Amino acid sequence: MNEQVSFTLRGRNPDVLTCIANLSNDEVFTPPELAGRMLDMLAEAWAKDHGGANLWSDKAVRFLDPFTKSGVFLREITSRLTEGLAQQMPDLQERVNHILTKQVFGIGITRLTSLLARRSVYCSKYANGAHSIATSFASDAGNIWFERTEHTWKKGKCSHCGANQGAYERGLERETYAYAFIHTADINGQIPHFFGRSMHFDVIIGNPPYQLGSDGGTRDVPIYQLFVEQAKTLQPRYLSMIIPARWMASGLGLTEFRQAMLTDRRIRELADYPVANDVFPGVEVKAGVCYFLWDATHDDDCNVTTFRGQEIVGPVRRNLGEYDVFVRDARAVSILRKVVGRKESSIKTILARDKEFGWTSNFDGFHKREKPGDLPLYYIRKMKRDSGFIEREAVTKSAHLIDTWKVLVPKAYNGGDGVPHQVLGKPLIAPSPSVCTQSFLFFYVGSEKEANSLQSYYSTRFFRFLISLRKITQDATHSAYTWIPTQKWDRTWTDDALYEKYGITQDERAYIESQVRTLSLDDISDE
């Protein structure tokens, strides 16, 4: 028996992948514990679908990680198969050779990570090396493939991933980040090139790259959705990936992907982590992460489980497509149904659009000393609110809104991932006439009394709770206010009054107040 095989597979090797997973990177490394949870979910589904059979005892099942980095998924799969096939294949070396040559496959995302993955799986960066636990490979790569791939440039963008040519057209000495799995229009036709023969994969699993700084500006553009869509074209029985959760309610260029995910009845399980640190220690992913199990034969609602620290909600059977965005916490759904069921008009009808007056947040075409006929202009600079003055004639967009009373609300508010959360920044009443920069959205009404009433409504936990169901990043866009019903602006609104109006139960009230904290209007600081 190969002593290297024996040593490695008996769990005596230090697990360096746990340490690597704590490194922050656009290609986030997966902790072994998380990979284990995803494999457990897969194995449970397999057993339910195959009369209680053990997935890891099936020597015919093929697994593919098409974007392997550390090799943790392939390593954990190999370990489980090595144990599960022990009775069928008592000889350890024969068993390992079978698993690694016929069942476990990977596609590296960079040259470095391909070497790391081979080291994790084969215990050697060369599959056919002297220290490899496999003895049947003829090539260095084994079944963990990598070749440098180039972008396909059209008008300064890659036609496959959208990468910016100026940022990603590199010399031969640097990685291109042109991931082979998505840089082809025919992934099925590429499989023989990757692995030397055509084959069908029963399971596709992994953690794809999340984003590229590809729009030529400051924004990172998501690409993980391209990997999900491409994997489906290989027609596996099961597909499981961990991806950012931003797709659920927002995200640049994710509208079509969100619609596809919410209406895909093949998504069988969804595990949601609103705080990414719960699975990726030391790595910040805005809006958290999730992993899902897609089953080609499933046509039903999805089991959704939400994890936040030590709190676990679910699993709950959910229709992912009940709304145009995904309401992450099942406990919120009963409240939302009561509100939208009344079919009241949305407050968006009196909510200005982003950059309503045409001025970006860094606009500086105003002055600090007032002149006759000037309008006050409100803005936020370096996270501090301030105001200046500008001539009425300088307002060339939405001039009809100048002479309204306004409730200004910061477009962006972070406040961290903890709960209870403030959700939104503090409002500010701007008398008529007035204008503002893109730093603020604003509601517009006809009088000071109406403005004060609207501000009281905005300040309730109820209002901000409904916002939280659609706002999962720091930005509160116009869309985030979709589920806020319009009220009569003739009173001071309180949570108690709103709870009574919408029939909110005591348990539902307690839940709202556990998620949203009170908002003090004593000062204008957003801290």
Final residue before a domain boundary, out of 243, 266, 294: 243
Final residue before a domain boundary, out of 210, 243, 276: 243
In this predicted structure, the answer to whether residue 296 has a pLDDT above a threshold of 80 is yes
C-alpha to C-alpha distance for 140 and 131, rounded to whole angstroms: 12
Looking at the domain assignment, is residue 279 inside a domain?
no
Q: What is the DSSP string of 104-141?
A: EEEEESSHHHHHHHHHHHHSSSSTTSTT-S-----SSS
For residue 66, give the nearest of 117, 11, 9 by alpha carbon. Answer: 117
Q: Dihedrals φ, ψ of 462, to 5°?
A: -55, -50
Dihedral in degrees, nearest 10, Cα atoms 21, 22, 25, 27: 20
Looking at the domain assignment, is residue 300 inside a domain?
no
Looking at the domain assignment, is residue 293 inside a domain?
no
Residues 229 and 357 in one domain: no
Q: Residues 406, 430: contact at Cβ < 8 Å?
A: yes
Looking at the domain assignment, is residue 319 inside a domain?
no
Residues 228 and 367 in one domain: no
214 versus 125: the higher-pLDDT residue is: 125
For residue 406, give the nearest of 449, 446, 349, 444 by alpha carbon. Answer: 444
In this predicted structure, the answer to whether residue 68 has a pLDDT above a threshold of 70 is yes
Looking at the domain assignment, is residue 290 inside a domain?
no
Provide the 3-class DSSP secondary structure of residue 266.
coil
Residues 229 and 375 in one domain: no
Looking at the domain assignment, is residue 365 inside a domain?
yes
Which secondary structure element, helix H or strand E, spans residue 205, and what is its range? strand 203-206
Per-residue pLDDT band at 320 (split at 50, 70, 90): very high
In this predicted structure, the answer to whether residue 9 has a pLDDT above a threshold of 90 is no
Mean pLDDT rounded to a whole number for the chain: 91
In this predicted structure, the answer to whether residue 512 has a pLDDT above a threshold of 60 is yes
Final residue before a domain boundary, out of 180, 211, 243: 243
Half-sphere exposure (CA, 13 Å, Cβ side) for 476?
Answer: 31
C-alpha to C-alpha distance for 62 and 99, rounded to whole angstroms: 9
Look at residue 524 in the predicted model and tell me its pLDDT.
Answer: 53
Strands 144-145 and 203-206: unpaired
Looking at the domain assignment, is residue 53 inside a domain?
yes
Mean pLDDT of 134-157: 93
Question: What percent of the chain is predicted at pLDDT more than 90?
Answer: 80
342 versus 218: the higher-pLDDT residue is: 342
Predicted structure pTM score: 0.88
Looking at the domain assignment, is residue 36 inside a domain?
yes
Residue 118, both tokens = 């081979």
Look at the chain and report how many structural domains it folds into.
Answer: 2
Its sign, for the CA torsion 284, 285, 288, 291, is: negative
Angle CA(42)–CA(43)–CA(45) in degrees, nearest 5?
65
pLDDT for 432-473, tens place per residue? 999 999 999 999 999 999 999 999 999 999 999 999 999 988
In this predicted structure, the answer to whether residue 216 has a pLDDT above a threshold of 60 is no
In this predicted structure, the answer to whether residue 18 has a pLDDT above a threshold of 60 is no
Angle CA(267)–CA(203)–CA(42) in degrees, nearest 5?
60
- Residues of the domain holding 139: 3-243
pLDDT for 81-94, tens place per residue? 999 999 999 999 99
